[in-house]
Amino acid sequence: MKISATFTIANMRNKLPYFGEITLDLEEVIELPKHEIIEAFTGRGLHSQGYAEVIPAKGYDDWKAGIRSGLRYALKRICSPHMYRIILQRGSGLSTDTNPTIMAYVAARAILGKLPNKETLMDRKRLEELVYASWNYDPRSIPNLEKFSIMA
């Protein structure tokens, strides 16, 4: 059974912007030996100032790495013993308001909001703290959500 999931963060904290959104499909596949991630991005990237940048097939590698980090975090916390095929349909943000940690967060929340999981409240709070500290790092820095850290 295929499940569609979307998650968006769009807010300000301490006068800093946090925006990112993702749409993905999840499908439990019993015969997969490991989780499978398919990037089906078809956006145009930056096409006009003030409009969301939709991730294209090529480029935006830092945002894509952030998304993969968020997926790893979420998939380690789901309760199913089976593997999933995740099809990344759409990701978007703004260069001024989005970084890889924000994209990691929306990817993780999209999955954990749809599937039974064992994420603790403490882990969720630690993840949110990491997101809100992410502008203290280079905006291209990739998060390691398993260690609740950002690789500068």
Residue 136's Cα: distance from chain center in Å? 19
For residue 126, what pLDDT is reported? 97
Quickly tell me which residue has 């993969």 as its tokens.
Answer: 68
Mean pLDDT throughout 84-100?
Answer: 97
Closest C-alpha to 95, from 147, 31, 140? 140
Comparing 25-34, 43-52, 100-109, 125-134, which segment has the lowest mean pLDDT? 43-52
Position 47 confidence tier, pLDDT thresholds 50, 70, 90 = confident
Do residues 144 and 69 lie in contact, with contact meaning Cβ atoms separated by under 8 Å? Answer: yes
For residue 104, what pLDDT is reported? 98
For residue 6, what pLDDT is reported? 98
Rg of the chain over Cα atoms, rounded to whole angstroms, equals 15
| Stated pTM of the model | 0.95
Position 1 confidence tier, pLDDT thresholds 50, 70, 90 = confident
Two structure tokens written together for 14? 């301490």
Three-state DSSP at 23 gives strand
Position 9 confidence tier, pLDDT thresholds 50, 70, 90 = very high
For strands 16-29 and 2-13, give the pairing. Answer: antiparallel
For strands 53-54 and 36-39, give the pairing. Answer: unpaired
List, in sequence order, every residue forming a beta bridge with 117; answer none if it has no partner.
Answer: 78
For residue 49, what pLDDT is reported? 77
For residue 40, the surrounding DSSP H or E stretch is: none
Two structure tokens written together for 136? 């203290």
Q: How many residues does the chain have?
A: 152
For residue 46, what pLDDT is reported? 82
For residue 151, what pLDDT is reported? 82
Two structure tokens written together for 143? 């998060």
Distance separating alpha carbons of residues 92 and 42, to the nearest angstrom? 11
For residue 143, what pLDDT is reported? 97
Do residues 26 and 86 lie in contact, with contact meaning Cβ atoms separated by under 8 Å? Answer: yes
